[in-house]
Structure 1
Amino acid sequence: MESRSYDIVIIGGGVMGSAAAYYLTLADRALKVAVVERDPTYAKSSTTLSMANARIQFSLRQNVEISMYALEILETFEEEMAVEGFKPGISYRREGNLFMVDGRGREAALAALAMQQELGCRVEWWEPEQIRDRYPLYDTEGYVGGTFGRRDGHFDAYAFLMGYKAKARSQGVVYLKDEAVEILSGEGAVQGVRLKSGDTLNAGIVINCAGAWCADIARTAGVSLPVQPTNRQVFALDTAVKPDTPLPLTILPSGLYFRSETGGLILLGKSMPDDPVGYDFGWDDKRFMETLWLELAEFVPGFDRLKLVRGWGGLYAVNTLDGNAILGEWPGMKGLYLANGFSGHGLQQAPAVGRYLMELITGKPHALDLSIFQPERIIEKKPLSEGGLV
């Protein structure tokens, strides 16, 4: 058994933990930072199992500002994360996000659009005929229009993560293959982390970036988080009719979403009330065949003939209070910082969150004020409202 000392220990080496490690050591190379990751293959990481989308279209101003920063980062990421001449190829495809709007959602969509445009976002309102002209496979009957984000798109999530990780390591961050089993604390302050191997990491600052596992490790410090690991499934489809141009990530009011993927495939998913809670990575082809296919073919009649190529299940860290981030130092536990409960938005929010954690810990001025996500609201049970889009 070994005991080592660091300034900061980060639990979880996915994109959130790696972004935090990068920004911390970018700000202060003298910091001794360790990242604990039990699976460096990231086979079950929410980062790598996501559809890797970045979108500007939220109706909570701070979420929009977070995404604006993410889009800036994506533009220059490969150059900024270069290590010894090697650049991570993230394949950022700016194919857009299209939110279809029906009559019930029109008012909320227009209010969100006005706010986004006020912030300088490149988001437009499209009438149904504009949508059909651009994407003739779509049946817009029953829709009043849609909002289209031109700079939104998708990218290689694994390369994005590896870019942050490699750069963080080049700045002195130590990555440890182990599992954090207990946050050590005493007298209202964290003291470090105990690992499954039996080793102890002493630190006055611990950051919980454990994703879908965050509530389990937080509980060892007496902290109760309303975050559930929830199974989300993605299906890869080979359609008989192929679009003439790549389809944007298209989101229907029901929550069904799909987009083009390389190789001529379509990726599709939908969060559903009966999604399993727990560490379930399974996927069910019957869900697609019996439910989702019908909904997809109603909106895209040309997709009535297709082949289900494969599927997979990953985990959302669902904040059951309000679906938004829990971000900042936990009240009454000095040195315990949280970056949890992103509910499917974590990948695109990692750059801004990593920077914000650095600012909190080092005392630097905030580029973005993200105090609205502070953990106090969890204790007070005061949820944030998106007012429409989630």
Structure 2
Amino acid sequence: MTMDNNNLYDVIVVGGGIMGSTTAYYLTKKDPKLKVAVIERDLTYARASTALSMVNVRIQFNLKQNVEISQYAFDILDRFEDEMTVNDLRPSIAYHREGNLFLYEADAVESAKAAMTMQQEMGCQVEWWSPEGIVEHYPLYKPQETIVGATFGAQDGHFDAYAVLMAYKANARAQGAAYIEDEVTGLLIDDGRVSGLKTKSGDTYLSTLIVNCTGAWCNELLRTAGVELPVNPVKRQCFCIDPAVKPDRPLPLTFLPSGFYFRTETGGMVIMGKSMPEDGVGFDFTWEQNRFMEQMWPELAEFVPAFEQLKLIRGWAGLYAVNTLDGNAILGEWPEIRGLYLANGFSGHGLQQGPAVGRHLSEMLTGSDLTMDLSIFDPRRVLDGKPILEGGLLQKEVRYASR
């Protein structure tokens, strides 16, 4: 192999979405002398999960490490526009903290209240609401008789995902990271250690530290090194409607026990989605109007009767990298290949976890002290077949994998 110093990097990040760009940002911020490349197959991000996300950041997890990750995201987003201004370009991320509301039936109350207690002990603003309290706060809602209560996280909210991604990318580039538009076709392994990669254009890039941030496409890259993660690309469809009756205040991201969720958007629009067992596995970006007409509209109208009259504005589909083992991140060095780092399997939580994950990876890759103990997400558990099972986590986190 011919050594080309122009293609020799300290760290190569494969995938330039939220995970890849936060990793590049924190790496170059921590050590400006590092030579970092981000290789992304499509820099328009037309099918990137980051750009197609319905976007949510929430404190309501029942694993403390996920709560800590969200607390860091809240801190970052609060000061994001000031701190991420670069070359006199100030990002506008439309950060709105309108809350998340999770409704529960009787069989889920015990675990929900246990998680809420843990969150409160960590300083989170989370409350338990009775069915009457739900209606008092949001009079348009009509909870079914099976709903016994809800948790409301006032700090939870949403933001402009594309604007956040572009800001991380702009800052990473300003700090020296190179963004290369190409498709990685294979990892190079030498005596149990990663040594570089090849791309579709025929180029070879060399590095002994490579990070897989390819989201739903993660196994396409890993299979070239004989690795297979329990991560599936699962299609999630979202819809935007214009209801005839507009709510008098923004509605929180509201989750029903069935997996249906919705929130208001700018201009009184409502966006929604639903996790279903029949959601397709594969790289399919089509969306089906019949899904909305036959399954989602009736459920929305039952819960919010005022939304019975509406106009479907548009729909779209994106991919979630669903970790079928336990619905949580696979984060860290792959035990069988030195220098190959993973940031995969976020199961719909990736956008909000990007800042903490990018910082964590930068610390791991540079041998720095770790700000957070995220060892619970270590990839070793995949080889051992040991899912995370804290406080009923497996059942809940897989169920809400699309959140």
TM-score by length of 1: 0.98
CA distance in 1, matches of 2:143, 2:49: 33
Aligned pairs (5 A) from 1:196-211: 196-211=200-215
SS in 1 for 2:341: strand
Aligned to 1:227: 231
1:16 matched to 2:27? no
Q: Percent identity?
A: 61
Aligned pairs (5 A) from 1:149-298: 149-298=153-302
Deviation at 1:222, TM superposition (A): 1.4
Aligned pairs (5 A) from 1:37-56: 37-56=40-59
CA distance in 2, matches of 1:254, 1:66: 26
1:344 matched to 2:339? no
Aligned to 2:82: 79
State the one-letter code of the partner of 1:288.
F
State the one-letter code of the partner of 1:15.
I
1:375 matched to 2:370? no
Contact 1:2 / 1:200 at 8 angstroms: preserved in 2? no
Describe the shift of the 1:28–1:137 C-alpha distance in structure 2 as closer, same or farther (beyond 3 A).
same
State the one-letter code of the partner of 1:83.
V
1:64 matched to 2:67? yes
Counterpart among 127, 130, 148 of residue 130 in structure 2: 127
CA distance in 2, matches of 1:354, 1:41: 21
CA distance in 2, matches of 1:150, 1:367: 26
Deviation at 1:145, TM superposition (A): 1.5
Aligned to 2:335: 331
Range moving further from structure 2, 300-309 or 341-350: 300-309
Deviation at 1:2, TM superposition (A): 9.2
Cα deviation per residue 1:305-352 (whole Å; 9 max; x = unaligned)?
Answer: 111111000000111111110000000211000000101110000011
Deviation at 1:31, TM superposition (A): 0.5
CA distance in 1, matches of 2:94, 2:296: 28
**Structure 2 segments unaligned to the other structure (5+ residues):** none
State the one-letter code of the partner of 2:115.
A
State the one-letter code of the partner of 1:210.
T
Cα deviation per residue 1:115-136 (whole Å; 9 max; x = unaligned)?
Answer: 0001101111112222111110
State the one-letter code of the partner of 1:315.
L
1:98 matched to 2:106? no
Aligned to 1:301: 305
Contact 1:66 / 1:349 at 8 angstroms: preserved in 2? yes
> Moved runs in structure 1, 4+ residues, more than 2 A?
387-390
CA distance in 2, matches of 1:135, 1:191: 56
Deviation at 1:141, TM superposition (A): 3.7
SS in 1 for 2:87: coil
Cα deviation per residue 1:94-116 (whole Å; 9 max; x = unaligned)?
Answer: 11101112211111110000000
SS in 2 for 1:153: coil
Deviation at 1:6, TM superposition (A): 0.4
SS in 2 for 1:145: strand
Cα deviation per residue 1:174-196 (whole Å; 9 max; x = unaligned)?
Answer: 00011111111110000011011
SS in 1 for 2:314: strand
Aligned to 1:5: 8
Aligned to 1:146: 150
TM-score by length of 2: 0.95
State the one-letter code of the partner of 1:264.
G
Contact 1:9 / 1:193 at 8 angstroms: preserved in 2? no
State the one-letter code of the partner of 1:356.
H
Aligned pairs (5 A) from 1:19-34: 19-34=22-37
CA distance in 1, matches of 2:346, 2:181: 24
Deviation at 1:25, TM superposition (A): 0.9
Number of matched pairs: 390
Cα deviation per residue 1:359-380 (whole Å; 9 max; x = unaligned)?
Answer: 1111111111001000000011
* Root-mean-square deviation over aligned CA pairs: 1.2
**Structure 1 segments unaligned to the other structure (5+ residues):** none
CA distance in 2, matches of 1:138, 1:371: 41
CA distance in 2, matches of 1:291, 1:224: 34
Contact 1:2 / 1:198 at 8 angstroms: preserved in 2? no
CA distance in 2, matches of 1:293, 1:200: 50
CA distance in 2, matches of 1:295, 1:108: 25
